[in-house]
Amino acid sequence: MTSPNGEETSFGAGRLGNYHKSLPHDVLGRVHAPTYQAMVAALTSGDAGSLETLPVGANRSNAEPFTDTNPPQYAEYPGGAPGYRKLTSPLTGLVYDTQGADAGALAISAAPEIASPEFAAEMAELYAMALLRDTAFTDIATGTGTAAGGIAVQTIIDALGSVPFLNGSVTGKLSRAARRRYESRGTITDGNSLFRGSTPGSKHGHWVSQFMLSGNSNDSPAGKFVNLNGANAPNNAAGPAFRGIFAEVGHNDGFLFFGTQIIDQRSIVAQPGVDYLTNWAAWLDCQNGVDGNNFDIFLGRRRYLTTGRDIATYVHYDALYQAYLVACLMMANDGRSFPKDRGMPETRSSTRSAFASFGGPHILSLVTEVATRALKAVWRQKWMHHRRMRPEVAAALITLHAADPNLLGHGDLADRVGMLSGAIPASILTAIAAHNVDQNAASRIKPKASPPEGFPTIPDNTNYLLPMAFPEGSPTHPAYGAGHATVAGACVTMLKAFFEMFEADGVTEKAWPWPIFRPAFSSGNQNEGGELVPVADAGGYTVQGELDKLAMNIANARNMAGVHYYTDYYESLRLGERVAVSIIEEQLSLYDEPVSMSFTTFDGEPITISSNGDTSRVVVDGSHAADWYDRYGN
C-alpha cells in the first residue's frame, strides 16, 4: 500500500512543498490553488477532459491580459519568448497490463519529510553534485582540484562527511524505509565513496560501469580483414586522434556490435561550466511552464563519459532503455565471456541452442519492453500518490528562507525549511552562491529590466538556487519515483536474470571477463575524444557488480543533473526490479519444461525465479516472495 508523507496538505494552499511545475504561480512560486486542486481532482478521478481545461501548455500565452492563471514571462531568452510545456503522461499510472504486475499492484515508501536528516543529506548531496559537475570522476575519487564556486574538492568531501545521515551518526527513530536506505548507503570516508549508490557493485572501482566504456572485440589473425586490393587491412589503434574507420576493433576501442553496424561508447557532451535556473526570473518562468528546451551548448567532439555533466547529458537525451540495450548487445555478442543462465533449457542441452526462446531475440525484446511496464508503475506513484517537489523547488525554498523566512508565508513551513537549511554544510551553500553569481554574469537568459511588484529580492550571497544541468530544469512530472531509475532497475534485472551471474559454485559472482578500463586524455586536449586505458587495480570487478553499477550510473546521473533525489533512485530501482521479476515469473509459468533464473537482488539477497513446467514461483533468500513484493510500500 502506498502512503505519502502527508506534507501535501501541511503548508497551506500555496502547496510550496509539492510538485506543480507548468501550472501558474505567483511571484513567490506559490501555485494557483484552484488550478492545483483541479489537477489533483482530475488525476485521482482519471478525468482526461478536466485536464484539458487546465491553464497549461497550449492553453497558455505570453500575451496580455496577464492574470493569476496566465502570468507573464520574467526573463529574456535568446531568440525571443519560448512556448509552454505540457504535463507529461499524467494518467499513465491508471492503466492495466496483460503481463506482469499492474501499475497499482506495487508501491514505494513515503518520501522523506522536509525537516528530516535524510532530506538534508539529499539536498547537501545535490548541491555537491552541482559543484562537482565538471570535475572528473577520477579527481573526485582522489579529492583533487577545485570545484565550481572556488571550493576545493576535498572540502566538499569533508563537508558531506559531516552530515549525520552520510556519516552514520543519525540519532532518533527512523522509519523502516529510511533505516534501509541509511544502512545500505554506507558512510562517506573519502572521495571514492561519493555518489555511489546502494549496491556493492556500484561502490567498487571506477565510478563509470564498464558497460558504458568498454567495447566488443573482433581482433583476428591476419587475413580476416583486407583492403580492396586483398592486402591485410590495418586495425584500430585507440587514442585521442582515433576516429574509428576500420572494421577490426578491440575492447579498448569502445565499440559495440549491432549486427554489422557499430555503436560507439563516446558521447556528445554539454559544454562545461554552463548551468541554468540560477536567477529567480528564469527559475520562476521554469515553474510556470516556460519551455527552456534546446538552449544547450555542446562540445564539438564526442568523448567517453568523464564527468557528472557528461553523464547528465547522456540521460538528458537517451532512449530510456538505451544503456541496457547496449549492455545486452555487448554480452550477446560474446557468449563465451557472458553465457546465459545455467537454468535455461538450452544452456544445459547437448543438442539445442537458444534463439526464439531464451536466445537473442527473447532478451533483446524483453530488455526494452520491460521499460514500458516500469514507467507505468512509477508514473502511478508520481502522479496519483506522492506528487513530490523537484529539487529545484526545494532549493528555492531554502533561498526564500535565507532572504526572508516570511516569504514562505506559512510558519510551520518556514520552521522546517530553516531546519533543513541549518543541516546543510555552510561551506557548500557559500560555494553555491558564489557559483550562481558567476553563472548569472555569463548567462544568456537574463531577468527582465523591471521586475513586477512583490518580486523577491535575492541577495547574491544567499542565492542558493540549485544550478541545473538542463536549461529547462526538471521534467514536467513529479520527482518520486524516478522514471530513469525504475527503468534501470527493471532492465538490469532482466539482464541479470538471463545471463549467468555466478561461477560454477553458484555462489561466487562471475568475474568481469575483459580488461578493466577508464577514460583518459593523454593528449591533454579536452576537446579530443579521449582513450581507454587500463586501471591500476583491476581486482574485484564482477559482471553482476558492473550491471548494478550501470543501473546506479543512469539513475544517479539524473541526480547529478539536479532533477532527482537519492531516495528517488533507491526506491525506484527496487520498484523496477519487482516489475521485471513479476514479468519473468509470469512468462516462466507458460513453459512446458523446467526453467530457472538466479541472481542477487539490489538488496544483496539471492533470488531464484523458477518453473516446473506447470507453475512458477519466486524465492528470495530462501522464502517465498510475497513479502518481498510488498516490502517497499512502508
CA 80 vs CA 24, 27, 85, 291: distances in Å: 20, 21, 16, 12
Q: Which pLDDT score is estimated for 631? A: 86
Beta-carbon contacts of 151 under 8 Å, excluding residues fewer than 6 positions away, are: 131, 427, 428, 430, 431, 434
- Is pLDDT above 60 for 238? no
When pLDDT is cut at 50, 70 and 90, the band that residue 522 belongs to is low
Q: What count of residues does the chain have?
A: 634
Of 318, 337, 316, the residue nearest 326 (C-alpha) = 318
Question: pLDDT tens for residues 586-602?
Answer: 999 999 999 999 999 99
Task: Decide if 314 contacts 267 (C-beta within 8 A).
Answer: yes
Percent of the chain with pLDDT over 70: 97
Per-residue H/E/C for 149-208:
HHCEHHHHHHHHCCCHHHHCCCCCCCCHHHHHHHHHHCCCCCHHHCCCCCCCHHHCCCCC
Residues forming a β-bridge with 355: 358
- Is pLDDT above 90 for 523? no
Task: Decide if 575 contacts 630 (C-beta within 8 A).
Answer: no
Of 506, 626, 534, 568, the residue nearest 197 (C-alpha) = 568
Q: Which pLDDT score is estimated for 310? A: 97
The secondary structure of 437-466 as a DSSP string is HHHHHH-SSEE-SSPPTTPPP--GGG--PP
What phi-psi label fits residue 539: left (phi over 0), alpha (psi between -120 and 50 degrees) or beta?
beta
- Residues annotated catalytic, as ranges: 477, 484
Q: Which pLDDT score is estimated for 239? A: 56
380 DSSP assignment: I
Of 575, 574, 516, the residue nearest 546 (C-alpha) = 516
- What is the residue type of 571? E
Q: Which pLDDT score is estimated for 222? A: 80
- Is pLDDT above 80 for 464? yes
Task: Decide if 62 contacts 285 (C-beta within 8 A).
Answer: no
When pLDDT is cut at 50, 70 and 90, the band that residue 155 belongs to is very high
CA 56, CA 52: separation in Å to the nearest integer? 8
Q: Which pLDDT score is estimated for 280? A: 98
Cell 507529461, located at residue? 88
CB < 8 Å & 24+ apart, contacts of 45-50: 46/91, 46/94, 48/91
Mean pLDDT calculated for residue range 114-126: 98
Query: How high is the mean pLDDT of the chain?
Result: 94
CA 555, CA 475: separation in Å to the nearest integer? 15
- Is pLDDT above 80 for 174? yes
Percent of the chain with pLDDT over 90: 84
Domain ranges of the chain: 1-215+254-520+543-577
Beta-carbon contacts of 210 under 8 Å, excluding residues fewer than 6 positions away, are: 512, 514, 516, 517, 541, 546
Between 37 and 354, residue with greater pLDDT: 37
Task: Decide if 445 contacts 75 (C-beta within 8 A).
Answer: yes
CA 580, CA 590: separation in Å to the nearest integer? 16
When pLDDT is cut at 50, 70 and 90, the band that residue 353 belongs to is confident
Fold of the domain built from segment(s) 1-215+254-520+543-577: Vanadium-containing Chloroperoxidase; domain 2 (1.10.606)
Q: Which pLDDT score is estimated for 241? A: 58
